[in-house]
């Protein structure tokens, strides 16, 4: 596999924890060291060879649409959820006509990372095995992240399969990026529901896999997280995604 040429960027969140900034600005357009969170993600997708990215919008979505209007790499398709927020999986199902039939990248619009060596999205594409996997997630070591205050998400087996970490300190953190095959959404409807449902289904089927990232992962959840994120960029300036 040379790598997905389509991507789904999840940018429709309300950003309530980023208030008061998000009272007047959608979270994906918050700038970190002079670049918006959204542009950092879209640039990483462009570098990985993605030709089309579907970006879903809800809160102040017109501002996001205007921001990406002139972008050609990747080409942007807006999936408008202004009338009703569909959550992570519902938003993908609505966008499926633009994403099928091949595996595609998923990317959260509020996280990014600093590359170390081979770009992480290229590593994901090289790791993907269509015969074994339905979902492949990028995972971060808690010792190599900035801005994360929660517990771990998954335990990574020697064979690459994932199970829920349930807070196990040996676990890894979901890094807000991955590859999904659209077959998992067969018969799904564009109603509000979470990707966690599909994570659990693919765990049961033995088809949820993970890849530990080499880079430094950064998440920006609150206004107080902006300064540490910018400090991390200064500390590791080379190859910020």
- Domain of 129, CATH number, reads 3.90.550.10
Higher pLDDT, 92 or 110: 92
Show the domain range for 91: 6-235
Phi, psi of 197 (to 5 degrees): -60, -40
Cα dihedral 164/186/58/218 (nearest 10): 30
Is 79 inside any structural domain?
A: yes
User: How many structural domains is the chain composed of?
Assistant: 1
Question: Average pLDDT for residues 127-141, to the nearest whole number?
Answer: 96
Average pLDDT, the chain: 92
Phi, psi of 75 (to 5 degrees): -70, 135
Look at residue 1 and tell me whether its pLDDT is greater than 80: no
Is 1 inside any structural domain?
A: no
Is 155 inside any structural domain?
A: yes
Is 49 inside any structural domain?
A: yes
Q: What confidence category does residue 113 fall into, taking pLDDT thresholds of 50, 70 and 90?
A: very high
Q: pLDDT (tens digit, 9 = 90+) per residue, 194-212?
A: 999 999 999 999 999 999 9
Is 176 inside any structural domain?
A: yes
Q: What confidence category does residue 193 fall into, taking pLDDT thresholds of 50, 70 and 90?
A: very high
Question: Average pLDDT for residues 20-40, to the nearest whole number?
Answer: 92
Look at residue 239 and tell me whether its pLDDT is greater than 80: no
At residue 240, the pLDDT reads: 46
Residues paired with residue 78 on neighbouring β-strands, in sequence order:
55
Q: What confidence category does residue 147 fall into, taking pLDDT thresholds of 50, 70 and 90?
A: confident
Look at residue 234 and tell me whether its pLDDT is greater than 80: yes
Give the burial string for 28-67 (b: 16+ CB within 10 Å, else e): bbbebeeebbbbbbbbbbbebebebbbbbbbbbbeebeeb
Whether the Cβ atoms of residue 182 and residue 8 lie closer than 8 Å to each other:
no
Is 90 inside any structural domain?
A: yes
Look at residue 62 and tell me whether its pLDDT is greater than 50: yes
At residue 237, the pLDDT reads: 62
Is 240 inside any structural domain?
A: no
Look at residue 241 and tell me whether its pLDDT is greater than 50: no
Is 169 inside any structural domain?
A: yes
In angstroms, the CA 194 to CA 176 distance is: 14
Question: Average pLDDT for residues 14-22, to the nearest whole number?
Answer: 87
């Amino acid at each position: 596999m040379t790598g997905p040429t389509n991507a789904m960027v999840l940018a429709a969140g309300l950003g309530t924890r980023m208030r008061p900034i998000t009272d007047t600005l959608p979270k994906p357009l918050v700038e970190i060291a002079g670049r918006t969170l959204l542009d950092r993600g879209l640039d990483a997708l462009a570098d990985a060879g993605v030709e089309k990215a579907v970006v879903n919008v809800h809160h102040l979505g017109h501002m996001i649409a205007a921001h990406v209007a002139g972008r050609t790499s990747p080409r942007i398709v807006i999936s408008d959820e202004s009338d009703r927020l569909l959550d992570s999986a519902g938003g993908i199902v609505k966008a499926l006509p633009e994403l099928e039939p091949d595996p595609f990248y998923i990317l959260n619009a509020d996280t990014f990372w600093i590359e170390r060596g081979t770009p992480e999205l290229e590593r994901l594409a090289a790791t993907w095995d269509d015969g074994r996997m339905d979902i492949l997630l990028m995972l971060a070591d808690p010792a190599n992240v900035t801005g994360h205050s929660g517990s771990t998400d998954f335990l990574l087996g020697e064979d690459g399969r994932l199970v829920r970490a349930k807070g196990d300190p040996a676990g890894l953190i979901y890094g807000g990026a991955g590859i999904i095959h659209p077959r998992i959404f067969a018969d799904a409807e564009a109603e509000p529901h979470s990707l966690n449902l599909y994570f659990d289904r693919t765990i049961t089927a033995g088809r949820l896999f993970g890849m530990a990232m080499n880079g430094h992962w950064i998440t920006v959840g609150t206004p107080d997280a902006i300064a540490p994120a910018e400090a991390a960029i200064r500390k590791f300036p080379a190859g910020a995604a």
